[in-house]
Structure 1
């Protein structure tokens, strides 16, 4: 995987995760007919901050593309931390939102890592 060879790979993967969190927030706002750009920062900041905490807690830079070692803890901390920050900042944390958030971020934050791992395994066999 490029994460072990390319010195800039951890930063690139962190930026990819951040872009995916922004995508999640933008699609969520758009699905509720909200002004996407006007409220994007308000919706995304709790999850972006929690994503950073997840990266730090899991030491994601050591294996940034690993679905289990990095993807699962980053996902869990992003969801739990993001919801906690939303709650203390007066934003909604309805159960349906929590479930949708957990599932969408699982697909986004762990999913790309799973695809990357599968591609790397396939390339190694060829």
Structure 2
């Protein structure tokens, strides 16, 4: 007699608003990294300058989102959060190099740290908030049954 296949835990689909929100947060944080970095180096606050610095990291962010299918669980820290962070840095640095922009070791280190704090930090906070809300809902449900 054959055993039925074990049931997989099926997660409900992520609301599209959550996907858009997560993507916008990531984009804004990468932009903030660029603006802060340019400001720290006394580079002009000009749209062309910001776009020149931003596009390689934005491309890396897009690759990370696509490679991890981040829209499935956009707030998750480990997957997709960590790969998105690593793709953003690696692809960003690769395209900075290919486009003749600087990739000094110190800049790579700062980018790894700052983008890690930005792209993982908000997911860590969001995860804590979502877990707290889920526990509160479960607690309310139990109280209602008593």
**Structure 2-normalised TM-score?**
0.80
Deviation by residue 1:87-112 (Cα, 9 ceiling, x = unmatched): 00000000000000000000001110
> C-alpha separation between the residues in 2 aligned to 1:73 and 1:94?
22
* Aligned residue among 83, 107, 110 for 1:97: 107
Aligned length: 124
Structure 2 portions without partners, runs of 5+: 1-11, 137-146
Partner of 1:76: 86
> C-alpha separation between the residues in 2 aligned to 1:53 and 1:5?
20
What displacement does 1:8 show? 2.4
Partner of 1:21: 30
> C-alpha separation between the residues in 1 aligned to 2:64 and 2:134?
29
> C-alpha separation between the residues in 2 aligned to 1:91 and 1:26?
16
2:1 is the alignment partner of 1:6: no
> C-alpha separation between the residues in 2 aligned to 1:103 and 1:64?
21
RMSD of Structure 2 on Structure 1 (CA): 1.4
Larger helix share, 1 or 2: 1
What displacement does 1:7 show? 2.1
* Aligned residue among 49, 56, 69 for 1:59: 69
**Structure 1-normalised TM-score?**
0.93
> C-alpha separation between the residues in 2 aligned to 1:43 and 1:7?
29
> C-alpha separation between the residues in 1 aligned to 2:102 and 2:37?
13
After superposing on structure 2, the runs of 4+ consecutive aligned residues of structure 1 that deviate more than 3 Å are none
Structure 1 portions without partners, runs of 5+: none
> C-alpha separation between the residues in 2 aligned to 1:64 and 1:46?
21
